[in-house]
């Protein structure tokens, strides 16, 4: 029980859920989850899933690279590292040496320094690109050049306007005018730029109360509490919920803020393979059966409590959590569930209420429902939603309400306005229009990418679209080329992804027009041809796709 469990288990009728039909076609895998046709099994978990009225085809693809691609990726990375070592020998760092620190031990390990100076620096221009506009469906980049291979940058004075496929602006509410911006501006004059205090000591203002009530209504929960930063919502609240003797079961792709919060309080942590329900159940079964480790021989001590921690949409994978199964499992094994909807709130579901809405589930089945406002809401901060007891406890005991500053009023005003629009309280159907446009853009863009022959990961309905490019050097090349073509995208490589899974990530938005998407697709197709990105060996359906005919949220 101490060591991490490897190896996926696929047992039938032995208490394991069996709702997945895995088809292997031509070397790639399609996971289908069709809740209506759950195969007969005496497992409680699958019966519960079978009861969900809704049927949803759950299609996620993970096409593995060919062996050749995998090898090339590895080689190209090592070449980069070797080049790095060489240039470290030949060209000592230009960074000014620390003053007065002779004889001190280095501030950090030499690999970090090497990686930062000789590997990352070569591609540094692909990240941290400064912008000088709202990060809407278009974004204006402030051009810069480097005359010394990435040590320093200078502004050239020119600007590049790009189609923005990078920002987490799912519903297009990153706007510098319109009702949200107006409300934010008004709140500056009503309440100030910040309230200058913590929530429990004079930092709370009327907007916080309004926001928390509205959010509870929107999510369908008893109560909510909001914080000034999404990362801190995880990092500062989770430690107040767990303690040694608790078992936390965490998805391997969970976000850094969740990991921070989980690691702190000294509870036992087990990691399950990404979105692998078999593995999750395996760990749960063992947790119940073996209880806490290191007991005297013959003694059995159950865990104090078990908490499963998952995300709604995984931001690097584009996958969607198999929530109905997770809920069934958590009920069967009496665990608690912590769901981070950072990327999915607003972006998923018929009413924009996240993956809970997408699967037509009851928010009350999730013990701790967390989310952030930095994405779909175009604001900043985070929330936790749940029972009155939980929220009241956090209000009184959370580090984030006692030791960190309250959410500034303009951020709250922006969120309130977005919520009102999503709930139709503004008297228009603008919210519904945005939700549907995002879903349609997502479907359209993903289908077209598959037609082009690119390997994309994740769920068909996920607005986060990773395009696999594998090779480390290709990431930088593509980001640069796309910027030249006026398209802003994000490149992600090692260490944020596994070494051999370098990718370009695209985030779709309700703000994107079909013309913008078509332009981006045309450029992507050209670039893919130029540098050989059409890795996919899946059979392609080349029937032209009519944007307006795409049906969303009608099932």
CA atoms of 525 and 284, how far apart (whole Å): 45
Q: Which of 123, 229, 280, 287 binds ligand PLP (CB under 6 A)?
A: 229
Using CB positions, name the residue nearest to ligand PLP: 230
* Burial status of residue 61 (CB atoms within 10 A of its CB: 0-12, 13-18, 19 or more): buried
Name the minimum Å distance from CB 492 to ligand PLP: 12
Binding residues for ligand PLP restricted to 230-269, rule: CB under 6 A: 230-231, 234, 255, 257
Q: Could you write out the DSSP letters of every residue in 205-269?
A: -HHHHHHHHHHHHHHT-SEEEEES-HHHHHHHHGGGT--TT-EEEEETT--HHHHHHHHTTT-EE
Considering beta carbons, is residue 191 or 314 the nearer one to ligand PLP? 314
* CB closer to ligand PLP, 219 vs 454: 219
Strand partners, 309: 250, 338
Nearest of 493, 447, 414, 416 to residue 175 by alpha carbon: 414
Binding site partner of 167, from another protein, ligand PLP, none, Cβ cut-off 5-8 A by kind:
another protein
User: What is the closest distance, in whole angstroms, from the C-beta atom of residue 366 to ligand PLP in the complex?
Assistant: 15
Nearer to another protein, 416 or 452 (CB): 416
Residues 315, 167: Cα–Cα separation, whole Å: 12
C-alpha separations of 263 from 243, 256, 267, 274, 303 in Å: 10, 10, 7, 18, 17
524, containing H or E segment: helix 514-531
Stretch that binds ligand PLP, among 226-234, 319-327, 350-358, 410-418 (CB under 6 A): 226-234
Cβ proximity to ligand PLP: between 498 and 539 the closer is 498
Q: How far is the CB of 167 from another protein (least distance, A)?
A: 4
Q: Kindly state the tokens that stand for 212.
A: 């928390």
Q: For ligand PLP, give the closer residue by CB, 314 or 444.
A: 314
The residue count for binding ligand PLP (CB under 6 A) is: 14
* Cβ proximity to ligand PLP, 278 vs 359, nearer residue: 359
Measured from the CB of residue 487, what is the shortest distance to ligand PLP in angstroms?
22
How many Cβ atoms are within 10 Å of 349's Cβ, its own excluded?
23
3-state class (DSSP) for residue 496: coil
Q: CA 192 to CA 139: how far, in whole Å?
A: 28
Q: Are 188 and 513 in contact, with CB atoms under 8 Å apart?
A: no
Work out the angle between the directed axes of helices 67-90 and 472-484 (0-180°, nearest 10). 90
| Residues in 371-410 at the binding interface with ligand PLP, rule: CB under 6 A | 372, 374, 382
The nearest distance, CB 342 to ligand PLP, in angstroms, is 3
Q: Which stretch binds ligand PLP (CB under 6 A): 24-32, 97-105, 170-178, 229-237?
A: 229-237
Q: Which CB atom, from 66 or from 186, has the smaller least distance to another protein?
A: 186
Side-chain half-sphere CA neighbours of 103 within 13 A: 1
Q: Which listed option, another protein, ligand PLP, none, makes contact with residue 209 (CB within 5 to 8 Å by class)? A: another protein
User: At 163, is the secondary structure helix, strand, or coil?
Assistant: strand
Which CB sits closer to ligand PLP, 17 or 215?
A: 215
Q: How far is the CB of 326 from another protein (least distance, A)?
A: 16
Q: In what order do the strands lie in the sheet with 20-25?
A: 20-25, 28-33, 60-62, 458-459
Report the residue number, 232 or 327, with the smaller CB distance to ligand PLP: 232
78/127 with CB nearer another protein? 127
DSSP structure class, residue 197:
S
In a 13 Å sphere around the CA of 463, the CA atoms on its Cβ side amount to: 37
* 98 vs 362 by CB, closer to another protein: 98
Partner whose footprint covers residue 428, from another protein, ligand PLP, none (CB < 5 to 8 Å by kind)? none
Helix (H) or strand (E) holding 445: helix 430-452
When the beta carbons of 316 and 328 are compared against ligand PLP, the nearer one is 316
Helical packing angle, 206-219 and 409-422, nearest 10°: 30
Least distance (Å) between residue 30 CB and another protein: 22
Q: Using CB under 6 A, which residues numbered 295 to 324 contact ligand PLP?
A: 311, 315
Q: How many angstroms separate the CA atoms of 463 and 282, rounded?
A: 31
Residue 29 three-state SS: strand
Answer yes or no: are the C-beta atoms of 188 and 409 closer than 8 Å. Answer: yes
13 binds, among another protein, ligand PLP, none (CB under 5 to 8 A by kind): none
Q: Nearer Cβ to another protein, position 212 or 525?
A: 212
Q: Least CB distance from residue 374 to ligand PLP, whole Å?
A: 4
Residue 340 contact, options another protein, ligand PLP, none, Cβ 5-8 Å cut-off depending on partner type: ligand PLP
Footprint of ligand PLP on 332-351 (CB under 6 A) = 340, 342-343
291 binding partner (options another protein, ligand PLP, none; Cβ < 5 to 8 Å by kind): another protein
Q: Is 46 in the site for ligand PLP (CB under 6 A)?
A: no
How does strand 28-33 pair with strand 336-340?
A: unpaired
Map the footprint of ligand PLP across residues 349-378, applying CB under 6 A: 372, 374
| 235 touches, from ligand PLP, another protein, none (C-beta below 5 to 8 Å by class) | another protein
The distance of closest approach from Cβ of residue 137 to ligand PLP in the complex, given in angstroms and rounded to an integer, is: 20
CA–CA distance, 267 with 246 (Å, rounded to integer): 5
544 binds, among another protein, ligand PLP, none (CB under 5 to 8 A by kind): none
Sign of the C-alpha dihedral computed for residues 46, 48, 49 and 54 taken in this order: positive
Q: How far is the CB of 61 from ligand PLP (least distance, A)?
A: 22
Q: Which residues bind ligand PLP (CB under 6 A)?
A: 229-231, 234, 255, 257, 311, 315, 340, 342-343, 372, 374, 382
């Amino acid at each position: 029980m101490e060591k991490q469990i490897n190896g996926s288990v696929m047992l039938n009728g032995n208490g394991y859920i069996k709702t997945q039909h895995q088809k292997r076609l031509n070397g790639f895998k399609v996971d289908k989850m069709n809740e209506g046709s759950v195969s007969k099994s005496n497992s409680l978990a699958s019966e519960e899933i079978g009861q969900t009225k809704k049927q949803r085809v759950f299609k996620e693809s993970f096409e593995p690279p060919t062996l050749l691609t995998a090898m090339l990726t590895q080689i190209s990375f090592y070449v980069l590292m070797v080049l790095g070592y060489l240039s470290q020998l030949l060209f000592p760092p230009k960074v000014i040496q620390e003053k007065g620190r002779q004889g001190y031990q280095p501030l950090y390990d030499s690999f970090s320094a090497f990686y930062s100076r000789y590997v990352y620096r070569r591609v540094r221009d692909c990240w941290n690109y400064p912008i000088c506009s709202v990060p809407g469906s278009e974004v204006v980049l402030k051009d810069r050049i480097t005359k010394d291979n990435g040590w320093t940058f200078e502004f050239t004075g020119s600007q590049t306007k790009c189609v923005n496929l990078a920002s987490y602006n799912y519903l297009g509410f990153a706007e510098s005018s319109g009702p949200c911006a107006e409300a934010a501006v008004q709140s500056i004059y009503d309440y100030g730029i910040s309230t200058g205090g913590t929530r429990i000591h004079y930092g709370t203002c009327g907007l916080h109360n309004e926001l928390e009530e509205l959010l509870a209504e929107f999510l369908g929960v008893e109560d909510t509490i909001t914080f000034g930063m999404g990362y801190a919502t995880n990092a500062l609240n989770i430690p107040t919920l767990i303690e040694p003797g608790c078992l936390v079961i965490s998805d391997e792709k969970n976000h850094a803020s969740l990991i921070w919060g989980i690691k702190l309080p000294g509870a036992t942590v087990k990691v399950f393979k990404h979105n692998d329900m078999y593995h999750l159940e395996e760990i749960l079964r063992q947790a119940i059966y073996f209880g806490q480790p290191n007991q005297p021989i013959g003694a059995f001590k159950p865990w104090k409590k078990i908490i499963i921690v998952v995300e709604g949409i995984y931001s690097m994978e584009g996958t969607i959590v198999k929530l109905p199964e997770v809920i069934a499992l958590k009920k069967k094994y009496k665990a608690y569930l912590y769901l981070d909807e950072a990327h999915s709130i607003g972006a998923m579901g018929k009413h924009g209420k996240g993956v809970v809405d997408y699967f037509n589930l009851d928010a009350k089945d999730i013990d701790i429902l967390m989310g952030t406002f930095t994405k779909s809401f175009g604001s900043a901060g985070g929330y936790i939603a749940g029972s009155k007891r939980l929220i009241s406890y956090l209000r009184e005991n959370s580090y984030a309400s006692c030791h960190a500053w309250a959410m500034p009023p303009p951020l709250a005003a922006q969120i309130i306005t977005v919520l009102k629009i999503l709930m139709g309280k503004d008297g228009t159907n603008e919210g519904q229009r945005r939700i549907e446009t995002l879903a349609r853009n997502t479907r359209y863009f993903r289908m077209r990418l598959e037609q082009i022959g690119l390997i994309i990961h994740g769920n068909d309905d996920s607005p986060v679209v990773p395009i696999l490019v594998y090779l480390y050097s290709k990431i930088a090349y593509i980001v640069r080329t796309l910027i030249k073509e006026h398209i802003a995208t994000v490149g992600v490589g090692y260490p944020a992804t596994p070494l051999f899974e370098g990718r370009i990530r695209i985030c779709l938005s309700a703000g994107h027009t079909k013309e913008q998407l078509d332009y981006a697709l045309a450029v992507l197709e050209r670039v893919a041809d130029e540098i050989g990105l059409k890795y996919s060996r899946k059979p392609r359906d080349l029937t032209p796709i009519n944007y307006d005919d795409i049906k969303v949220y009608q099932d």
